Amino acid sequence: MAQIPPQTLHRDPQLFYWILIPITIVMVLTGVLRHYASVLMATTPKKADIKAIREQRALAHGAALRTNYHVLSRKSFETRRDFLIEGFESGAYLKAPNQKGQPPANPMTDPNAMEGMMGMMKNNMAMIIPNTLIMSWINAFFSGYVIMKLPFPITIKFKSMLQAGVQTKDMDPRWMSSISWYFLCIFGLQFVYVFLLGSDNAASQIAQQMQAQQMPVGPMAPGQDPSKMFKAEAENLAVIEHYSVLDGIEERLLERIKV
Amino acid sequence: MPPLLLRPHASLSHAEALQVAQQAPEFLRKNPASYSASPLFSLFSPPESSKTWTIYENLLLACLRTGDYTTAHQCLERLVIRFGGNDERIQALKGLVKEAEATDNSELEQVLKEYEAILANDNTNVPISKRRIALLRAMGRTAEASEALVQFLDFATTDAEAWIELSDLYLSQGLYAQAIYAQEEALVIAPNAWNLHARLGEMLFMAAESGSDGHPQAYLAESLKRFCRSIELCDDYLRGYYGLKRVTDKLLDKDSKQKKPSDSDEVTLPETSTIEQLNLAATKKLGDIVRKYDAKDPLWQGYDSGEVAAARACLSETSQNMVR
């Protein structure tokens, strides 16, 4: 059986020093720069207004009563229920009682929501701009040839990933082009950033994407009408069939401690 | 149980607080004054964790309690370096140090004014609001304190700590119905806290004892139920059993004197036989606890010595009655 002779390409060793290392260094430095840029641009989260907090807590209070009503005796539960239902329905806890019934404000015109969006925009910009710049830099100077050979064999599927920008059909996938090295750097430098900047850095893009996906959804999702939420909570409270853990507790306890 | 340094400071006894305060200088020496974000420093200095800062806070409180103000200032300084002087919690701690160092009422007034200035700027500052209320109460201005607390609870309705404080405040003024209401609110937020159940039972019992309201029977019945619930939630809970014993004693005593059916009330008393059985069980359990505590059984040493002494006194009272 004829062995396929290993492909040999003669590369200038200078490629290693003048392409591989510069790309890596530039990538690391951009990450660090991006971290500090985002630290500088970050706006402190705006403090919630006392009325907004009151609205939220009142709703949470209703929910707490709805789930834990069983610790109360019937009489004290009914007092609280009537009080809360009245407050909820009359809109006494609303942030802006006179806006009751109006459609929720358009998030585009709401300055509070706008600020949040600006923050997101800034982060995205801080990610997109340097990436575009570096990629066009690499494309302009280093595209069209391979720069290194991986020290381990690799299957043919990796060809498109590792040899982006090199149109050679039969070349061993172990050869790697500069643009692929750039992509590897994007995904592989996360731990370098963690070491350099601490675990909550803003340099790594993957971490940022994860963050964007799991945006916390507060109890008050924007665009929801709080007065409707209060109405719904009042209804939930009104239909509770009361029982108490205190009913018949003496017998229950006796049985338990007798055994 | 977490190590002494990490336990919430309010739960420590005087001796333990002293022990904590004595560890402070050593802890300050061992840890760097400030943490750097740079990787080179983090290689050489001990790692920073959230526990470190809990410990600093506990040390600060313990030092204030034991009167070691210089060490307290050092702790505070490090907290300020780390979190900045404008952090809400740090502001409250700073105020606390000033309160502790104040020697007379006028200085306390000064601190109070500072709190009010902060609150005028930012009325959602929870730690400072709480400090202001605590300071008002400490200065003996109970009415103002309860008013401030009610205002605070109007926007922070889910703050169990504040409800408990309000309840305690009302109780100290003898307003039992209000105290009970506030305590129930705290229970709605933390439904399985046996200590809150037992505390509510104690309040109900006190309300029945005072007899200011028309329904001591109803109070007693609910108090009995609360104590039962606290025992159900926590086996061998001394306060629960103690309260159960007291309340059943009272009920049995009453029953023998006046057999008055009170069906109009919604909370109904159980059968007298049940009450007797509960009384017996409570007496037995209290006896067990006291005996094992006195015998230095290592598994039964977690009780507060004052509470055990109270249980002992209660038991000896009962046995005297029996002899008579």
- The pLDDT of residue B219 is above 80: yes
Question: Can you tell me the mean pLDDT for B95-114?
Answer: 89
- Is any Cβ of chain A less than 8 angstroms from the Cβ of B228? yes
**What's the pLDDT tens digit per position in B253-296?**
876 555 455 545 556 778 888 888 888 889 988 998 999 988 88
Measured distance CA(A18)–CA(A37) in Å, rounded: 28
Q: Supply the mean pLDDT for chain B.
A: 85
**Would the pTM count as exceeding 0.95?**
no
| A30-39, A203-212, B29-38, B185-194, range with the lowest pLDDT | A203-212
- The pLDDT of residue A218 is above 70: no
Structure tokens at A251: 């017998």
CB contact under 8 A, B188 and A72: yes
Question: Can you tell me the mean pLDDT for A162-180?
Answer: 79
Instruction: Identify all chain A residues contacting B155, using CB atoms and an 8 Å cutoff.
Output: 50-51, 53-54, 57
Which residue numbers of A have CB closer than 8 Å to B's CBs? 47-51, 53-54, 57-58, 60-61, 64-65, 68-76, 80, 195-198, 245-246, 249-254, 256-258
3-state SS class at A177: strand
- The pLDDT of residue A181 is above 70: yes
**What's the pLDDT tens digit per position in A228-245?**
888 888 999 999 888 888
Tell me the percentage of chain A whose pLDDT exceeds 90.
5
Which strand (E) or helix (H) includes residue A176? strand A175-177
Angle (nearest 5°) at CA B161 between A222 and B175: 120
- Is any Cβ of chain A less than 8 angstroms from the Cβ of B232? yes
How high is the pLDDT of residue A217?
A: 47
Q: Which of B42, B123, B232 sits opposite A256 (nearest CB)?
A: B232
CB contact under 8 A, A65 and B39: no
CB contact under 8 A, B229 and A76: no
Name the more confident of A180 and B93.
Answer: B93
- The pLDDT of residue B32 is above 80: no
- The pLDDT of residue B213 is above 50: yes
Transcribe B255-308 into DSSP letters.
Answer: HHH-----TTSSS----HHHHHHHHHHHHHHHHHHHHHHHTT-GGG--S-HHHH
Tell whether ipTM is more than 0.95: no
